[in-house]
Structure 1
Amino acid sequence: MVFTPRHIIDAMIALIDPQPSDVIGDPACGTAGFLARTMEYLNRVHSSEAGTFQDEDGNTHYSGDLLEPYRDHINKQMFWGFDFDTTMLRVSSMNMMLHGVNGANILYQDSLNKSVKEHYPQQEQDYFDVILANPPFKGSLDEANTNPDVLGIVKTKKTELLFVAHILRALKLGGRAAVIVPDGVLFGSSKAHQQLRKELLVDNQLEGIISLPSGVFKPYAGVSTAILMFTKGGSTERVWFYDLQADGYSLDDKRTPLKGDGNNDLPDAITKWKQYRELVLANASSDDIEKHFGDKTKKAFVVDASLIADNKYDLSINRYKEVVYEEEQYEDPKVILKKLQALEKEIMADLDELEGML
Structure 2
Amino acid sequence: MVKLHHVITGELKSRIDRVWDAFWSGGISNPLQVIEQITYLLFLRRLDDLETREESKAEFTGIPVATRLFSPAQQHLRWSRLRNKDAESMFDIVDKQVFPYLRELGSTVGGDGSAYAEHMKDARFAIPTPALLSKVVDMLDHIPMDNRDTNGDLYEYLLGKIASAGVNGQFRTPRHIINLMVAMMAPRPDDEICDPACGTAGFLVSASEYVREHHATALMNKAQREHYHRSMFHGYDFDSTMLRIGSMNMLMHGIDAPDIRYRDSLAESASGEEGRYSLILANPPFAGSLDYEQTSKDLLATVKTKKTELLFLALFLKLLKTGGRAAVIVPDGVLFGSTTAHRALRKALVEDQKLDAVVKLPSGVFKPYAGVSTAILFFTKTESGGTDDVWFYDVQADGFSLDDKRNPTSENDLPDVLARWSQRTTTERDRARTDKSFLVPKADIVAQGYDLSINRYKEIVHEEIEHRAPLDVLADIEALDAEIAAGVANLKAMLA
Match for 1:152 among 275, 297, 301?
301
Match of 2:339 in 1: 190
Which among 414, 423, 440 is matched to residue 266 of structure 1?
414
Q: 1:71 aligns with which of 218, 225, 231?
A: 225
Q: Contact conserved, 1:136 with 1:160, CA < 8 A, in 2?
A: yes
* 1:212 aligns to 2:361 (yes or no): yes
Contact 2:330 2:377 in 1 (8 A): yes
Deviations 1:261-318 (Å, cap 9, x if unpaired)?
xx111111111110115x4xxxxxxxx874x24x211111111212212222111000
Q: Secondary structure of the equivalent of 1:207?
A: strand
SS at match of 1:276: coil
Question: Quick check: 188-197 or 131-140, which moved more?
Answer: 131-140
Root mean square deviation of aligned Cα: 2.5
Equivalent pairs, count: 315
2:428 touches 2:437 (CA, 8 Å); kept in 1?
A: no
- Specify every segment of 5 or more residues in structure 2 that has no aligned partner in the other structure, as ranges: 1-169, 488-496
- Structure with bigger gyration radius: 2
- Is residue 253 from structure 1 mapped to residue 390 from structure 2 by the alignment? no
d(CA) in 1 for partners of 2:368, 2:269:
34
1:34 alignment counterpart: 203
Q: Which residue of the partner structure matches residue 167 of structure 1?
A: 316
**Structure 1: how far apart are the matches of 2:181 and 2:173?**
11
Corresponding residue for residue 6 of structure 1: 175
Determine which of 172, 176, 197 is the counterpart of 2:325: 176
Gaps of 5+ in 1: 47-63, 280-287, 350-358
Does the C-alpha gap of structure 1 residues 140 and 337 become closer, same or farther in structure 2, counting only changes over 3 Å?
farther
One-letter amino acid of the counterpart of residue 8, structure 1: I
In the TM superposition, 1:1-358 aligns within 5 A as: 1-46=170-215, 64=216, 66-69=218-221, 70-117=224-271, 121=272, 123=273, 125-233=274-382, 234-235=384-385, 236-259=387-410, 263-277=411-425, 279=426, 290=429, 292-293=430-431, 295-331=432-468, 334=472, 338=476
Give the match for residue 69 of structure 2: none
Report which stretch shifted further, 161-170 or 131-140. 131-140
TM-score (normalised: structure 1): 0.82
Identity among equivalent pairs (%): 53
1:67, distance to aligned residue in structure 2 (A): 2.1
Structure 1 pair 340/213, CA: closer, same or farther in 2 (3 Å)? farther
- How much has 1:330 moved relative to structure 2? 3.9
Distance 1:38 1:343, change over 3 A: farther
- Supply the AA of the counterpart residue of 1:323: I
* Structure 2 counterpart SS, 1:209: strand
RCO higher in structure (CA 8 A, sep ≥6): 1
1 CA distance for matches of 2:478 and 2:173?
Answer: 54
Query: Cα distance 1:339–1:14, how it changes in 2: closer, same or farther (>3 A)?
Result: farther
**Superposition deviation, residue 38 in structure 1:** 1.1
Deviates more, 1:219-228 or 1:149-158: 149-158
Higher share of residues assigned helix? 2
Structure (1/2) with the larger strand percentage: 1
